[in-house]
Amino acid sequence: MAKKNSASSSEKAKLSPRDERTLGQLVGLADAVVEAAEKRRDPHVDIPTRSLSNVRYNQTKRIIEMGRNTTRRQLFNLSQAKSFMQTLLVGSGCRQLIEQGKTTSIRGLYYLLKHTIEGTKEETFNDQSECDPVIEDVEVILNSLREEMHLYAQKRGDMVGEIVLEDSGDEIDCARMGSGGYGIPSIVEPEVIRFKRCDAKFILHVEKDTVWQRFNEDKFWRKHKCILSHGAGQPPRGVRRMLHRLHNELKLPVYCLLDNDPWGYYIYSVIKQGSINLAYESARMAIPDAKFLGLRSRDFERCSLSPSVRIDLSDTDRRRAKQIAHYPWFEKKKPWQNEIKRMLENGFKLEVEALISKDISYVTEQYTPARLAEQDWLD
């Protein structure tokens, strides 16, 4: 009978310093509960409140931050007992992943932890929507990225350009990735992704895959010595974290080419200041120095675009634009106030793809090079 070469799933893996730290935090969380039980106290966990009322804009750091308000979750509170159990269960599952040196999706963790509690008909989790918020709770308790807990989300976003990196031991030359580019993974921490050589001068982040394909096909990144990325709309955590690392570790400026609509403004806001929902991760994701390269409200006239490319603003668009105008990081910036005001006065929005009406490569050969040369962007 042949010997098994694969390690048992219960074997402990060699841990990185980051893994050691996260594991220590998880063990500390469990130890605090055990200590309370041994002293005949009500075991509890204090969870930073993830709501708009507990979020503030730090004008010095120029990012959104979570406040100090917390919510206490207690074992001997009938209405909280299940969520208390779920919190520790998620912590236990993440500890298992770290010790075994394995990763899984948040969907995978849900199935790993889902079972009927012995002696009852009660399920640990009824569905995925019950598990996801608890994962975020554990993130904020530990002040750790979920990726540091060996959890990944759906991969969405690509990049190409003048950089060579190492991904899980494999060398990737992003200038030799063909038409598809390098798919940015959910987990991009230094233990997984290492930057080996970079000849890029800046990063151009575009909103959608369709625009990214045009820039890639036209080899914009080669002509202008840059890294080209997209996040398929609202960029996922992996893309935002990758941009943050490239900007901070390699000192690469980040320019965002997004649609001239409230959604494009919001995407820029998230990249630049952070997300209200993920305020606890802003320090590791937000890029305060990111610049909005376009599309601009004045481009309809400046680029002599056809009236057929205009998209009428909906009532929802108008409400959203006014909300964004009152964001603390935009409300005192006159150029942004003028930009939003002009879009509302125009009564229409524009997608970056509208520039194709001029010429198939107008956006790569004229519009973007001109905006960069003139330093014509919004901050």
CA torsion 240→241→247→250, rounded to 10°? -150
DSSP 3-state assignment of 253?
A: coil
227 forms beta bridges with 161, 203
Q: How far is CA 209 from CA 155, 174, 215, in A?
A: 13, 17, 10
Report the catalytic residues: 111
Half-sphere exposure of 322 (CA within 13 A, CB side): 9
Measured CA to CA, the distance from residue 40 to residue 309 in angstroms comes to 69
- What is the C-alpha to C-alpha distance for residues 252 and 372, in angstroms, rounded to an integer? 14
Strand residue runs (E) in 69-190: 70-74, 104-105, 151-152, 158-161, 163-167, 170-173, 182-183
| Nearby residues of 192 by Cβ (< 8 Å), 6 or more positions away | 167, 168, 185
Distance CA 15, CA 160 (A): 31
* Amino acid letter, residue 189: E
